Amino acid sequence: MSQKIRQIVEQILIASNIFIVFLLLFENKWVVPVWLQSVGRMHPLLLHFPIVILLMAMAMEFFRFKTTYAANDFYRIFLNNLLLVGILSAALTVIMGLFLSQEPGYAGDVLQWHKWSGVGIVFLVSLIYWCRNSHWYKAPIAKTATVLASICVVLAGHFGATLTHGADFIAEPLTKSAPVSLENALVFANVIQPIFEQKCVRCHNSDKTKGELMLTTEQSILKGGKTGLFLVAGKPEISLFLQRIHLPTDDKKHMPPLGQAQLNPQEIALLSLWVKGNADFKKKVTDLPTNDSLRLLATTLFLPMLTEAYDFEAADDETIKKLNNEYRTIAPLARESPGLSVNFYNKNTYNAQNLAELSAIKTQVVSLNLAKMPITDAELKSLAIFENLQKLNLNFTNITGNGLKELINLKQLKSLSLSGNKLIFKDLQIQIKAFEQLKTVAIWNTTLRDSEIEQLQKESKNIQFIAGFKDDGRNPIQLNPPQLKNSSPIFGQSLAVQLSHPIRGVQIRYTTDGSEPDSLKSPLFNNQTTIYENTTIRTKAYKTGWFGSREATFGLYKSSYKPDSVALLTRLNDVHQAMGAATFFDRQLGTWEPNSTIWANNWAGVRNNDLVLVSTFKTPILLSSVALRIMEETGAGIFPPESVEIWAGANKNSAKLLTTIKPSVPTKSRPHWLYAVEGKFKPQSISYLKIVAKPLQKIPDWHYSKGNKALLLVDEMFLK
């Protein structure tokens, strides 16, 4: 590192230390703007770099005064550079962390320890750097300082891991208690709470309370969070967390958030049934009636907890390690047990060869999970090699039941899960009788009728058939809304609308005329609806025995052309920069989620000046319409534009005004609304297009901010 560069980096380091002090002194008085929140969220991404660099630098500094190294110029120069890079990256990481800590949901003692140990690293190592060439800085001081700094690094990392993974993350494998038996299992502690801990507590604990919600104790669960009660005992249809669970995964309010481990159908059913049964925190599983749906589903969780001894040897550790990969995990069924549990993930990468690869451990595989893999009846033959298999999960695959004859040689099979499949009753009736050791068969959410399930139970009394939640119409649950499955709501010439619902047998009713859909008069969606113009589809889901869903509204937009170049001639406001000019033709629609960074990144806004966009086309196009998708949220001072001028021509000099759009100004406060304002004109052959959108200059008198300029937000433009 040259002397000049070193001086610049040292100046940045001084500025960083001063900035950290400033942030700490005025911590309760500054707010992180939306555009800067993404910088704060890079904290977990960057923090590993300074940890490694600083630990290396501290180790070298510890031995710096040894005769061998003291006279080594390379050692000295390398250490100086390493130390400087480590301190600066640590300072930047601390600044990002301070930004991140200002977001809602971060609090508690662990956060404070993490923050101050991180700050301590920067200040202590900066002190070492500036003092290490002083005459009084000798080996004892260097060793003491480097040991203290290393301890701070380790502590900061430990507290950071505690924030993200929980306080017992490191010690959990050593302190994990023995599996509880079904007879001693509590519904909440051993069935429901483990679901919360695996899928929810990461963001809802005492140190990280997203939405002011904690899910660690009975009291905190019943208290709820910022948006209200977490659950309403006995009423799953109005319990907030169940509503959030059933939202589409791309909805910003869906829980767990997209990118986190999602709840599987069985976990959702358990949570729903627990709330329906008054959300009892003390009851045992065996206290529930023998035919209770919650008891039947919960019982399956304890089947793999086997205590029997196996008469086969454990597989080689190296073999297991090699077979573990990104689409498959292999782990001991229990501590000190030779039995193995195998789980497959990612159906897109699955093929039959993945099972054949397990031949080296075929004797040890006791539990096999192939849920949601593209398994067919014909492929079940490949499972016959697992001679000691006791638990097989084939939920939500492509089997019908006929292929079960290929599994008859699995003499140890005790638990079989076939839920979510299109099972053929006759095939299942014939094949299931051949399994001598089979104790339970899960068949909830299949095509089997209740009468057929009753018949199976009569004919095979030694097998418990678990049908799960029964849609009997009593204490109904509200359906979640329909989902739009098209890859994009923006289309060229036409669009075959694709709507779906995760629950079978649901009717989707829709309207395109602006009226609210109902269960009787509105058209029934049949996957044969094609649209050719901008259309707003309002939808609801209905099914006998369930409450109808909330309405889901989808805006579908026709856009026949995309410019070859776009440029903004005016500046966007500081908060709503989005992706600049590219925002308006990226086919990414913004949503209404004011506390989300994604919300800000999809909307471009102006208030104090016009939004002027220029587009050009290499080949002339025949243009007859321009539309802008805007946001209206009167409560936040976001109004439609005062006007939108459309200028076009063969080039800049020949451009003329084709039309002016003048949207109506709201006369009263109304809910947020995302819609397109469109200007139509006689078809024109053009190569140059200029759009001038003017924000509303005076907010109406009925508004609390009357007379002020309104904010204009635009996320997409459509040309046809």
Domain assignments of the chain as residue spans, ordered by start: 3-165, 182-301, 303-466, 483-558, 565-719
Would you list the DSSP string of 582-647?
Answer: GGGGS-------TT-HHHHHT-EEESSS-EEEEEEEEEEEEEEEEEEEEEEBGGGTB---SEEEEE
Instruction: Name the least confident of 22-31, 615-624, 654-663, 668-677.
Output: 22-31
- Report the length, in residues, of the chain: 720
Residue 595 pLDDT exceeds 50: no
Question: How far is it, in rounded angstroms, from Cα 330 to Cα 321?
Answer: 8
Question: How far is it, in rounded angstroms, from Cα 537 to Cα 524?
Answer: 13
Helix (H, G, I), strand (E, B) or coil at 497: coil
> Shortest CA distance to 613 belongs to which of 720, 689, 716, 533?
689
Q: Give mean pLDDT, residues 468-475.
A: 50
Given this model, what pLDDT does residue 597 score?
36
Given this model, what pLDDT does residue 52 score?
77
Given this model, what pLDDT does residue 599 score?
42
Residue 686 pLDDT exceeds 90: yes
Q: Give mean pLDDT, residues 218-227.
A: 78
**Structure confidence at residue 311 as a pLDDT band (50, 70, 90):** confident
Given this model, what pLDDT does residue 442 score?
87
Residue 306 pLDDT exceeds 50: no
Query: Which neighbouring-strand residues pair with 537?
Result: 554
Instruction: Enter the tokens of residue 79.
Output: 């250490």
**pLDDT tens-digit series, residues 109-163:** 666 777 888 888 888 888 888 888 788 888 888 888 888 888 888 887 777 666 6
Integer-rounded Cα Rg, in Å, for the chain is 31
- DSSP 8-state class, residue 693: E
Neighbours of 168 (CB within 10 A): 12
Given this model, what pLDDT does residue 499 score?
92
Neighbours of 326 (CB within 10 A): 8
Same fold yes or no, 483-558 and 565-719: no
Residue 651 pLDDT exceeds 90: yes
Given this model, what pLDDT does residue 596 score?
38
Question: How far is it, in rounded angstroms, from Cα 166 to Cα 208?
Answer: 10
- Compare 504 and 712 and report the one with higher pLDDT: 712
Given this model, what pLDDT does residue 174 score?
44
Instruction: Name the least confident of 187-201, 459-473, 527-541.
Output: 459-473
- Compare 325 and 165 and report the one with higher pLDDT: 325
Is 32 buried (19+), middle (13-18) or exposed (0-12) by CB count in 10 A?
A: middle
Please provide the average confidence, as pLDDT, over all residues in the chain.
82
Question: How far is it, in rounded angstroms, from Cα 715 to Cα 555?
Answer: 13
CATH, range 565-719: 2.60.120.1190
Tell me, rounded to whole angstroms, the distance of Cα 530 from its chain centroid. Answer: 31
- Compare 479 and 257 and report the one with higher pLDDT: 479
CB neighbour burial string for 679-695, b if at least 16 within 10 angstroms, e if fewer: beeeebebbbbbbbbbb
Given this model, what pLDDT does residue 561 score?
94
To the nearest 10°, the Cα dihedral for 314, 317, 323, 324? Answer: 110
**pLDDT tens-digit series, residues 167-210:** 555 545 444 445 677 778 888 888 888 888 777 776 776 656 67
Report the DSSP pairing between strands 499-500 and 656-661: unpaired
Given this model, what pLDDT does residue 106 score?
56
**Structure confidence at residue 473 as a pLDDT band (50, 70, 90):** very low
Residue 472 pLDDT exceeds 60: no
Given this model, what pLDDT does residue 329 score?
81
Given this model, what pLDDT does residue 334 score?
64
**pLDDT tens-digit series, residues 43-89:** 666 667 777 788 888 888 888 888 778 778 788 788 888 888 888 88
Residue 264 pLDDT exceeds 80: no
CATH architecture of 483-558: Sandwich (2.60)
Q: Tell me the CA distances in angstroms from 525 to 114, 484, 504, 664, one per residue in order.
A: 54, 12, 14, 33
Domain 303-466: state its class.
alpha beta
**pLDDT tens-digit series, residues 598-614:** 344 578 999 999 999 99
- DSSP 8-state class, residue 344: E
Query: Which neighbouring-strand residues pair with 392?
Result: 368, 416
**pLDDT tens-digit series, residues 364-398:** 999 998 988 889 888 898 998 999 999 999 988 98
Given this model, what pLDDT does residue 335 score?
58
Neighbours of 95 (CB within 10 A): 18
